[in-house]
Amino acid sequence: MASLLPLRRTPSTLLTTTKTPLFTRSITIAPRSFNSRSSSLPQSTTTSTPLRTLPRTTVPQPLHPLSIRQQSSTGDNEPSFRQWGFEDITASLPTTSPASPPSMPQKSLILIDVREPAELTSTGIIPSAVSVPLASQPDALFLTEEEFETRFGFPKPGVKGDGEIVFYCKAGVRARAAAQLAVQAGYEAERIGVYDGSWLDWAKKGGRVERWEGDDN
């Protein structure tokens, strides 16, 4: 009889298993306080050593040929040279009058033409002058007597200490530069002169001209 009785079903809600967590882990982070003195990184101290200033040494530079034309003889520390004119140069030249035999030029005057050989070939040269081109041979006056004669083929002018030396060029600029170089090379400033008008003045006033027979190089 008992087996005929209907079975009572357990509600499905009772069959649901509720999972209870085994444990709950709580992590509490305590606030951390920092001390400004302990947390600051040590700062490196840099000791600056003052730099030593070495004295500047002036090294003499060789004279560039292109800079010769830009030199001037009016500086405060530069010597003043005697200015020669057309009449002064003419009076120092040997005479060529037919009535009298040619006379020798005055031994007290040494004429130096500092133009380039190509210029001399084109225009000629003042009689009794020697050619010492300044632009292409800027060290000429600094050479020894032997070196000078080997290079130019004639004795170095004015080394004996006798006679006045007069420089000329085309318009006077290179002549003044040559006079300054002569003093630097050891010539006495009292013996140095400049024909300020130079070749342009000489040709304009009809000065005597001698054919240049040197080498163009």
Please say whether the beta carbons of 190 and 183 come within 8 A: no
Residue 54's pLDDT is 52
d(CA 20, CA 22): 6
**Tens of pLDDT, residues 141-181:** 999 999 999 999 999 998 877 789 999 999 999 999 999 99
Residue 13's pLDDT is 45
CATH superfamily membership of 79-91+105-204: Rhodanese-like domain (3.40.250.10)
Residues of the chain with pLDDT under 50: 1, 10, 12-18, 20-24, 26, 34, 36-42, 44, 57-74, 100-106
Q: Which H, E and C letters describe 53-101, residue by residue?
A: CCCCCCCCCCCCHHHHHHCCCCCCCCCCCEEECHHHHHHHCCCCCCCCC
d(CA 184, CA 63): 12
Residue 161's pLDDT is 74
CB atoms < 10 A from the CB of 117, how many?
16
Which uninterrupted H or E stretch holds 130? strand 130-131
* pTM of the predicted structure, to 2 decimals: 0.62
